[in-house]
């Protein structure tokens, strides 16, 4: 029996990077105090969500992995508390810039980096201006407490990403997120749709899903986004075990027996009965694979 307790953190961010890191650390310590062993922070928590507007001066936020303040700080925290921490950061690598997550194991070791695969572009979410498409492919990390797959925000809308990570052995799917109101569609509220997509990944793959979103209204020149929180943890059948409100800063926790979940996946047969040879339409628009 391999039991693991997980946590998702939901918080507001400010313009002060050091303040955001200190606040995130307080929440991580609170989660660890509640017994959490794998703790998920939200997307790009070091800063305000700078992607609302196309402003070249924000390129300066991008840092090499070993130069990033949050990564360095949380390496020490992970080692001290014995917790696994996926840390979202704006990564510079040579002349490219990525929306990335560094996976810190429970001894503070950096297991590696995942770079966001799907990059959105639209009013309030101008990410293609800031980020190269990720070049790592989907990854699964064998941490002290279990195998985790991590997608970043827009990745969570793609069932292929969740299925790939599960086929690679992920026992938990984690999604750091920054999503809220749509400046170009003032009447649109995507919260329920957003949750249902990830709940579907949990149910279809029989793996728990954690989503950590930010809260609060953030303004940038003529743009403003109100992040709707609603972070949650779902079990392997898609039941929400914990859910935050739209406005609170909080820590959510849940516990899972990974061995029991592995037995359930085997028993359901959804991976045994897959027919990859019939899925050619996933590779090309007309289903024909060309050399």
Going from N- to C-terminal start, the domains of the chain cover 3-282
pLDDT at 227: 97
Q: How far apart are CA 73 and CA 45, in angstroms?
A: 13
End-to-end alpha-carbon separation of the chain, Å?
Answer: 46
- HSE-CB at 171 with a 13 A cutoff on CA atoms is 23
| Cα-based distances in Å from 247 to 2, 139, 228, 244 | 34, 32, 7, 8
Judge: domain 3-282, CATH 3.10.180.10: no
Beta bridge partner(s), residue 85:
104
Among this protein's residues, is 197 annotated catalytic? no
| Cα-based distances in Å from 246 to 177, 190, 198, 271 | 14, 12, 17, 36
Beta bridge partner(s), residue 223:
220
Among this protein's residues, is 164 annotated catalytic? no
Return left, alpha or beta for 22; rule: phi > 0 is left, psi -120 to 50 is alpha, else beta: alpha
pLDDT at 285: 65
* pLDDT tens over the chain, length 291 residues: 899 999 999 999 999 999 999 999 999 999 999 999 999 999 999 999 999 999 999 999 999 999 999 999 999 999 999 999 999 999 999 999 999 999 999 999 999 999 999 999 999 999 999 999 999 999 999 999 999 999 999 999 999 999 999 999 999 999 999 999 988 788 889 999 999 999 999 999 999 999 999 999 998 888 899 999 999 999 999 999 999 999 999 999 999 999 999 999 999 999 999 999 999 888 876 655 555
pLDDT at 221: 81
Q: Which of 5, 23, 116, 139 is catalytic?
A: 116
Q: Which of 5, 13, 23, 43 is catalytic?
A: 43
Q: Which of 51, 63, 91, 153 is catalytic?
A: 153
Q: How far apart are CA 251 and CA 8, in angstroms?
A: 6
pLDDT at 286: 64
Q: How far apart are CA 75 and CA 110, in angstroms?
A: 8
């Amino acid at each position: 029996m391999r039991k693991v307790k997980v946590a998702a953190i939901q918080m507001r961010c400010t313009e002060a990077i050091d303040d955001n890191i200190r606040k995130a650390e307080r929440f991580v310590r609170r989660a660890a105090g509640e017994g959490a062993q794998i703790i998920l922070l939200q997307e790009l928590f070091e800063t305000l969500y700078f992607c609302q507007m196309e402003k070249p001066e924000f390129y300066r936020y991008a840092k090499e992995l070993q130069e990033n303040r949050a990564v360095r700080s949380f390496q020490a925290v992970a080692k001290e508390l014995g917790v696994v921490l996926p840390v979202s950061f704006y990564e510079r690598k040579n002349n490219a810039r990525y929306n990335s997550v560094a996976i810190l194991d429970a001894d503070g070791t950096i297991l590696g980096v995942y770079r966001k695969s799907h990059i959105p572009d639209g009013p309030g979410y101008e990410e293609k201006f800031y980020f190269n498409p990720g070049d790592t492919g989907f990854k699964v990390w064998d941490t002290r407490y279990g195998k985790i797959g991590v997608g970043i925000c827009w990745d969570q809308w793609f069932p292929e990403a969740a299925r790939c990570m599960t086929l690679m052995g992920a026992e938990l799917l984690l999604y750091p997120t920054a999503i809220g109101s749509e400046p170009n569609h003032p009447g649109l509220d995507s919260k329920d749709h957003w949750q249902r997509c990830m709940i579907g990944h949990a149910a279809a793959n029989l793996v728990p899903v954690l989503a950590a979103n930010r809260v609060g209204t953030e303004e940038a020149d003529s743009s403003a986004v109100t992040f709707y929180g609603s972070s949650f943890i779902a079990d392997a059948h898609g039941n929400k075990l914990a859910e935050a409100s739209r406005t609170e800063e909080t820590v959510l926790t849940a516990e899972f027996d990974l061995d029991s979940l592995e037995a359930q996946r085997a028993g359901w047969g959804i991976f045994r009965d897959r027919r990859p040879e019939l899925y050619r339409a996933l590779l090309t628009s007309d289903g024909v694979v060309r050399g």
